[in-house]
Structure 1
Amino acid sequence: MIPLFLSSCNEDDLKKAAKISAKKVTLTRDRSLRVDITFSDSAVVKAKGYAPVLDQVNPSEGSKYQEMPGGVKITFFDPLQKVTGTITSDYAIRKETEGITIFKKNVVVVREDLTFNTEELTWDERKKKYFSPRGIVTRPDGTILNAVNFSAPEDFSSVDFEQGSGETFVKGDLTP
């Protein structure tokens, strides 16, 4: 015995489909490969970024954006050009009009004093802050924190989060 499935759509469904298909948005996409970007302020290099693929997307409606489907790595420098940290992710999108960059999939922030792992991290250029709904902060001493509503200033000099939980290690003798 073979099961038989039947499906139908009424006239209203066909009208809805026609309206949706009539709204066509065209995109122009300019693709660049092996892109190196240098960010500087007053002739001082602040960061260098690398993306294997960078798509500049210009939709006929809406704001243009840059997409990095092959991931991105950003290296940060202090004024003496010493590396202070990195951000890597498997995907990123920069929305120019909103002034935000969203890093997604296997996002890792590494600094001397912490490593932050998450699936999504947003950089707000105007506020000069990073935000993430959740992630894991690991410190060199072995402390591991599960962070909810994570935020950090642009240089990751401090971190804030809510509802943190995790493991930490205490040095010294704890006997009374």
Structure 2
Amino acid sequence: LIRHENIKEPYTEFPKGVKIIKYDANMNIISSITAQFAKHFDSDDRWEAKNNVVAVNLKGDTLKTEYLVWDMKQEKIYSDQYVKIIQKDQIYSGIGFESNQDFSSYKIKNLKGQMYVDIQEN
């Protein structure tokens, strides 16, 4: 943990990584984010996560990327880099991503995807 205070935009650096957990009102885990490096900016209550970033929501959907921002004031998560979302039966990827902060509703920009379809022959 490294604190940078005497600068225009103070922040706390987490060079050994973080695990951020989001809880609901009943203290149930609704989402989590892990990363090998992160910064928290005090002025706008914003997290920047880098290097092997993984976010998981309540449904078990998993987001993987190298860069992610969690804007706690705006209550959203976003990235402008390559993202991959792994669901139980589908994988989506693209460049750019935006979500609400519990990662329950999201949009991938420049979407690419794989869908698995069972084909039954007669």
5+ long unaligned stretches in structure 1 = 1-53
1-structure distance, mates of 2:5, 2:96: 32
1-structure distance, mates of 2:120, 2:8: 60
Deviation (angstroms), 1:174? 5.9
Given candidates 78, 93, 96, the residue that maps to 2:42 is 96
Provide Cα deviations, 1:130-174, integer angstroms capped at 9, x if missing partner. 011221000012x11112220000111111112111211235x56
Q: Which has the higher helix share?
A: 1
Does residue 137 (structure 1) correspond to residue 85 (structure 2)? The answer is yes
Report which structure shows greater RCO (CA 8 Å, sep ≥6). 2
Determine what percentage of the aligned residue pairs are the same residue: 28
1:1-176 paired onto structure 2 within 5 Å: 54-59=1-6, 61-111=7-57, 112-133=59-80, 134-141=82-89, 143-170=90-117
Cα RMSD between the aligned structures? 1.9
5+ long unaligned stretches in structure 2 = none
Deviation (angstroms), 1:79? 2.5
Question: 1:125–1:80: structure 2 CA closer, same or farther, 3 Å change rule?
Answer: closer
Please report the TM-score for the alignment, with normalisation by the length of structure 2.
Answer: 0.86
Provide Cα deviations, 1:94-143, integer angstroms capped at 9, x if missing partner. 111233210000100012341000000001122110011221000012x1
Segments of 4+ in structure 1 off by > 6 A? none
